[in-house]
Amino acid sequence: MSQAAALPDVVRDIARVDAQVVEQAAQLPSSILADVAGRRGGLHGHIAPLASNMRFAGPAITVEVRPGDNLMIHAAMAVAQPGDVIVVDGKGDLSSALMGEIMSQQCVALGIAAVVIDGAVRDSEAIRELGFPMYAAGLNPNGPTKFVPGRLNHPISIGGVTVHPGDLVVGDADGVTVVERAKAAAMLPLAADKVAAETKRIADIQNRLALAPAWLDGALRAAGVIRDGETL
């Protein structure tokens, strides 16, 4: 029997990414974290924030639901701790909303940092006014059912990325990046170095010191686009 099969459907206690790592990651763009993690971890672009000013960072509470049913999201909210991010594999179904204003208000009261859903939500204007970070695949005014079993705090697949309970999840206007819990701390100094390098690159462009990247000719030669000794 596999370890996953041996677990109960609802796992209450999980190991979370360190709070200091979350605090530092919250200052970084999701794109930077995706780059230093090997250009992976970014959820598919169809999962987007309801407003471009929404951003968050926190450990993942993972939820698997059946299309159109939000019973297990309510279970996740019951076991989540302040600062957690509820990440829902909604199977990409947009036929009915899995969350709306009432559940978002409850999340705010509970201190939940954000919700990421591969599915639909509703009451989008109210959620925007509330300012609660909600990332979803779409909108639908239809409401959900609340009686189909699912799983809580098991590994899930969402937006082309595998998410384990406790992984680092960071979101901003560009979307959502997931970094494995065990690797998250090691990504921070790499991210800081990349921010510094990109800041310098932008300054060099603005000061007209380097209007083309230094690696361009080498990459073009390696790709066979230009010959050895040839430059643009």
Domain harbouring 48, CATH code: 3.50.30.40
pLDDT higher than threshold 80 for residue 57? yes
- 115 within a domain of the structure (yes/no): yes
How far is C-alpha 17 from the chain's CA centre?
A: 14
Q: Which helix (H) or strand (E) holds 62?
A: strand 56-64
Segment 167-212, tens digit of pLDDT: 999 999 999 999 999 999 999 999 999 999 999 999 999 999 988 8
- 226 within a domain of the structure (yes/no): no
> Which of 51-65, 140-154, 213-227 is predicted least confidently?
213-227
pLDDT higher than threshold 80 for residue 4? no
- pLDDT tier, 229 (very low <50, low <70, confident <90, very high otherwise): confident
- 189 within a domain of the structure (yes/no): no
Segment 16-39, tens digit of pLDDT: 999 999 999 999 999 999 999 999
- 229 within a domain of the structure (yes/no): no
How far apart are the C-alpha atoms of 115 and 111, rounded to whole Å? 12
Q: In total, how many domains does the chain have?
A: 1
Average pLDDT over residues 62-74: 97
Q: Which residue has the tokens 């970014």?
A: 42
Domain range for 95 is: 3-183
- 214 within a domain of the structure (yes/no): no
- 210 within a domain of the structure (yes/no): no
3-state secondary structure of 156: strand
pLDDT higher than threshold 90 for residue 231? no
Q: Take residue 83 and report the two structure tokens written for it.
A: 């600062």
- 220 within a domain of the structure (yes/no): no
Contact 194, 32 (CB under 8 A): yes
pLDDT on residue 3: 57
Per-chain mean pLDDT for the chain? 95
Segment 98-112, tens digit of pLDDT: 999 999 999 999 999
pLDDT on residue 112: 98
- 61 within a domain of the structure (yes/no): yes
How far apart are the C-alpha atoms of 185 and 168, rounded to whole Å? 10
Burial category of 89 from C-beta neighbours within 10 Å (exposed 0-12, middle 13-18, buried 19 and up) = buried
Q: Which residues of 122-147 are buried (b: 16+ CB within 10 A; e: fewer)?
A: bbbeebeebebbbbbbbebeeebeee
